[in-house]
Structure 1
């Protein structure tokens, strides 16, 4: 829908919403304005009008905010990959902290005793995991490779991306040329990036079989750009390496805990390895596991927190809904010499019950790292008298964290000792956070 559907109007922006849009109120109606910052006066044009609110695009900034900066990427404003490059970096972090505090107060009716300092790191080149779309555009006689445009199914016409590692960003024009030359260019909708400590993997989603000529093109590309090429003919489980077959294993490391984590390019890992290291270190410090304790790592994935916890001398039970991730976690525990301190179990934690949790036995401490849907059923299942004395909750959605915090504090009797943001995704409105709950005597 065009941003020019309604005539431009002028508004004063009061604040930011949870997705990085400016919030203004005009004639009693709330207007969410893309590209506007607090304290600015802007000319905006509405592209979606509802009875109680409107979505709009800033067309001109009449009075700038001190937080505004010049976006680094030439594709900002068209590409949907970033929404906050126009906001100074430290102001982005502060805005996310406010989002967390407001969610805890408004949804959870809780307030942390202490605000943890924000975790943040490199502002650019941080994204070591990405799913790029690819599309052959016959009318233009070209292939597009990149992220989708804002509010659109079209792919942005990108030649660089500053949140990708520079060595990957430089490849975007070459990737377009490569796909253009393939016999299956119209059947190659996605390229997934997984950058590890020692190798960069590009997974091409090939909906048809490749030809010998295609294979030769892939091999030449891999040699020129020093990457490993994988193909994925169907679902993520079908991905396999094409070339070179002697490439180093795909891994990331947690040096402070002496842990190296092998993973497959289609398996979930954190997109920002720099922040992940600091985040794990803080989570373990807050959890404070002690030798001999029994600790639960809920939504454990491939062991990102489980293995560092086990380094403390505690015994850890990791639970995860995916058999593939549980298998990988066990393999990683064996590779890191920790198999004797960990157990892993497949479980649908969204269906946790009090009886089920009780059958697992008592835990001294618990780490919870759920997806965006949160961990409501798990939190409801924690016993009020014999539950873990300490819970560290790592969240990728402040709204569901706040909802679950309400249960832990007002139903289960925990105190929210501390909370803070983790800026895993700079220049986006995505808010990761961490909270520490304590059962006080």
Structure 2
């Protein structure tokens, strides 16, 4: 093994696999070597700075033979940015790899499925996201993203292919205006006053929300800056600001410019008003398709009673409520539940109830005795999956059908292992909401055995 400085260079490693983290791997002897920016099919020389027990981790020193699935990254920031980690991979092959990760996770937990999951590709692989978050840094007065693996630094982002224009034009205008008005940028080590973050949300219908976060900036200064930005981009619905503490907690959000403190998206004829801290699926087109697919898979007859766990702003809840007898949505986020209640009113859906509370302490056997025995349970849990006690309560409720939406194939497979003795998988579909990354949304339909 050649040496170069303090690194070991391993020549001619054939990349054959992909990990659920998105990192590719090959073998050196009987040990796996994990690499960023590698593509299955590559043959590469690998720089290994450190050995771990049982495996190696390194970086590409040289591509000896490129994979037939490798392409040239189209963004100038790929080498430093931590966002689009699969940009060197041909898009059609990205979809194959996402399905492979899911199948390997299911195989690990001995879960059998009758057919390969359908993967719904993104109709747009560029400029598809409805939300992007940028950071400010006093080190060089830059606005942009964090480098891969370094959340305390920010690099100047000159281009980004996630959101359509006027996204980057708004970013540049805010930076220009802030510097002209001598508004400081935040320094994470000194923790003095300054602008800290910028969130842009863009709806499929054109609605735009700008949320600024900072520390210790006078309100009048912020309003003058917002007015200047709004004058150049009148299509912005609102410019908002939240005061942030040193530990990243935030105070109440205030409206600097515009006419409302929410962002509006539409899906399948429903209107959804989303507050700054409420989650909405990041790819509006794919989300709309997934919402509609849940309704069609359930084949509702009009007499069903449904519970939606982790309901958020009521996106799945209100879609199924249009064809069900009674629906309850539960979520731990106060802002999300407030949005869900408003969304039900806006859409004229009155036979739905939303409850704010932790799922573990709210969705209990006592709760089920008080409300009703559900015919369907929908859950869209966080990336880590759902807790064992919640899974036990779902099975004890004996719904005829369960719809599980997941953004993590590994935690999905782990949770499916629990459900399989009681339920069988009747549909499994993947929706690519995150082109050029290893992330994917998976929809699973289960029916009671």
Q: TM-score, normalised by structure 2?
A: 0.89
Cα distance in 2 for partners of 1:131, 1:305 equals: 25
Q: Show the 5 A alignment for 1:160-309.
A: 160-181=159-180, 182-186=182-186, 187-196=194-203, 197-210=205-218, 212-226=220-234, 227=236, 228-234=238-244, 235=249, 238-244=252-258, 246=259, 250-254=263-267, 256=268, 258-309=269-320
1:280-332 C-alpha deviation (Å, 9 max, x unpaired): 11122222222021011111111010111011143111111123322221111
In the other structure, the counterpart of 1:155 is: 154
Q: CA offset at residue 237 of structure 1?
A: 6.0
Looking at secondary structure, tell me which structure has more strand per residue.
2
Closer, same or farther: CA 116–426 of 1 in aligned 2, 3 Å: same
Kept in 2: contact 1:37–1:68 (CA 8 A):
yes
Structure 2 CA distance for partners of 1:218 and 1:5, relative to 1, 3 Å: farther
Counterparts in 2 of 1:216 and 1:294: CA distance versus 1, 3 Å: same
Q: Could you tell me how far apart the structure 2 residues matched to 1:430 and 1:210 are?
A: 40
1:145 and 1:175 in contact (8 A); partners too: no
**CA separation in 2, counterparts of 1:417 and 1:231?**
46
Q: Does residue 335 of the first structure (1) align with residue 346 of the second (2)?
A: yes
Q: Secondary structure at the match of 1:164?
A: coil
Match of 2:394 in 1: 382
Structure 1 residues 146 and 314, CA gap change in structure 2 (3 angstroms): farther
Q: How many Å separate the matches in 1 of 2:219 and 2:264?
A: 30
CA displacement at 1:111 relative to structure 2: 2.1
Q: Name the CA shift for 1:358/1:104 in 2 (closer, same or farther; >3 Å).
A: farther
Task: Give the Cα–Cα distance (whole angstroms) in 1 for the partners of residues 429 and 241 of structure 2.
Answer: 39
Kept in 1, the 8 Å contact 2:132–2:201? The answer is: yes
CA distance in 1, matches of 2:149, 2:366: 45
Deviation string 1:121-144 (CA, Å, 9 cap, x unpaired) is 21111111122111111xxxx322
Aligned residues: 426
Output the CA distance in 1 between the equivalents of 2:49 and 2:242: 38
Deviation per residue, 1:54-106 (Å, 9 max, x gap): 22111321111111112111111210111001001111111111111111221
Q: For residues 339-374 of structure 1, what are the alpha-carbon distances to aligned partners after superposition, in whole Å with 9 as ceiling and x for unaligned?
A: 2x2011123113454444444421111111111121
CA-to-aligned-CA distance 1:1-49 (integer Å, 9 cap, x gap): xx98513322111111112211111122211011111121012212443
Aligned to 2:189: none
Residue of structure 2 equivalent to 1:415: 424
Cα distance change, pair 212–326 in 1 and its aligned pair in 2 (3 A): closer
Q: Secondary structure at the match of 2:119?
A: coil
**Separation in 2, partners of 1:203, 1:143:** 19
Change (3 A) 1:356 1:249: closer
Deviation track 1:184-205 (CA, whole Å, cap 9, x = no partner) reads 3232111112223342112111
Decide whether the 8 Å contact of 1:42 with 1:60 is kept in 2.
Answer: yes
Contact kept? 1:33, 1:58, Cα under 8 Å? yes
Q: Which residue of 1 aligns with 2:61?
A: 59
Mapped partners of 1:162, 1:436: distance in 2: 33
Secondary structure of the structure 2 residue equivalent to 1:281: helix
Which SS does the other structure have where 1:404 is aligned? Answer: helix
Q: Does 1:394 align with 2:408?
A: no
SS of 1:170's partner is: helix
SS at match of 1:205: strand
Greater relative contact order structure (CA < 8 Å, 6+ sep):
1
Q: Tell me, what secondary structure is at the counterpart of 2:318? A: helix
| Matched position secondary structure for 1:401 | helix
The match for 1:114 is 115
C-alpha spacing 1:36/1:136, structure 2 compared with 1 (3 Å): same
Unmatched tracts of structure 2, length 5 or more: 187-193
Corresponding position: 1:349 with 2:359: yes
> Which structure 1 segments of 5+ residues have no match?
none
Residues 26 and 242 (structure 1), Cα distance of their counterparts in 2 relative to 1, 3 Å cut: same
Q: Are 1:362 and 2:373 an aligned pair?
A: yes
Matches of 2:5 and 2:38, distance apart in 1: 17
Pairwise CA distance, 1:118 = 1.2
The separation in 1 between residues aligned to 2:81 and 2:126, in whole angstroms, is 16
Could you tell me how far apart the structure 2 residues matched to 1:265 and 1:34 are? 33
Secondary structure at the residue paired with 1:366?
strand
What is the SS of the residue equivalent to 1:379? helix
Q: Give the CA deviation at 1:225.
A: 2.8
Q: Secondary structure at the match of 1:330?
A: helix
1:353-398, Cα deviation, whole Å (9 max, x unpaired): 44444444211111111111212332211345x6111111000111
Closer/same/farther in 2, CA of residues 119 and 298 from structure 1, 3 Å limit? same
